[in-house]
Amino acid sequence: MSGLSARVIVQRGDEFSLDVEIQIEAGQTVALLGPNGAGKSTLVGALAGLIPLDSGRIVLNGTVLDDAQADVFVPPEKRRLGIVFQDYLLFDHMNVLDNIAFGPISRGADRSTARMSAQRWVDDLDLAGFEDRKPPELSGGQAQRVAMARALAAEPALLLLDEPLAALDATTHVRLRRMLGEHLAECHAPRLLITHEPTDAFLLADHVYIVEGGRITQAGDPDQIRRHPATPYVADVAGTNLFAGVSERGTIAIDGTRFTLHAADTSVSGAVLVTVHPRAVALHPTEPHGSPRNTWLATVDGVEQLGDTTRVLLDGPIRLAADITPNAAEALGLRPGLDIWAAVKATEISISAA
């Protein structure tokens, strides 16, 4: 069997336990999305062999890496993993080229062959000219690319990415997310992205697991997670409406439609990502007038109760979710198939370069 199959049970003192089960096929990117303290890094440590299982089983490409009951444990250096940590963990005493060459060397390549492989990754990740620099001399974005190159150069059987974009400024984050996506698509190993940032999960992953309090609370493809959140946490962060489009002076043509949105931010031009929180979408029985610059006639596709919030799924001309109060939903008489006016203020539309 190719890919990763893992049931990970780890007890951390008396206060926290992790009990999750995940599957990742070869060539598939899976994101584990959750708040701080949910157990994401504990899972990485267990998969990497840095934290032994208390119970459960980890199988990679048919080989058992850890089985607490059968007393099987493969040490980290023999697991053929590529890992990018949040703080990168580069070797400060090595230059960029040798840091990247460490990956091939760790799997048995001689120094000359490893350095040739490393140079190819230097060129692919726009690191030419930095080969002789050491990690303290690099920017955050440069260090992130070196860490990524070191992991990929090892041709890993499993690629683990633990919050790889978290420490970057907004501009570098967007650029390197795009670069990471390109290289993930070329990696044939199963890939696990650990993140607390829903946009990264939705743009980079084929499948998403939500972890809260050490347990998986929801799993599905990004669109399923966004449109049908199972918990208040998911509704708050993963329910964000996300679109791709092209912006010109704040007027955004949404990809795949003839629909345009107007944002207050006119500083970003070209390909953009657009986010609209469901709470920013107002619903009206008749066409609204006044401050909103974005109004359109939509059709109710579904109505779901999420605690003290009613989530309304809208279709046409764009698909998105709106969060309103139960009282407002009752007053509007919402039901599937009903035509309703939607409105979003230009100031509530967030855009960033894609």
Helix, strand, coil tally for the chain in percent (to 5): 30, 35, 35
Domain-ending residue, one of 183, 214, 238: 238
DSSP per position, 62-87:
TEEEEETTTTEE--GGGS-EEEE-TT
Average pLDDT, the chain: 91
Domain-ending residue, one of 238, 255, 273: 238
Give the domain CATH number at 290: 2.40.50.100
| 1 pLDDT higher than 70 | no
Q: Count of domains in the chain? A: 2
222-232 pLDDT, tens digit each: 988 888 888 88
pLDDT at residue 294, as a whole number: 95
Mean pLDDT of 7-21: 93
Instruction: Return the SS3 of 160.
Output: strand
| 291 pLDDT higher than 80 | no
Q: Which residues form the domain of 275?
A: 241-353
Examine the domain organization and report whether 153 and 293 are in the same domain: no
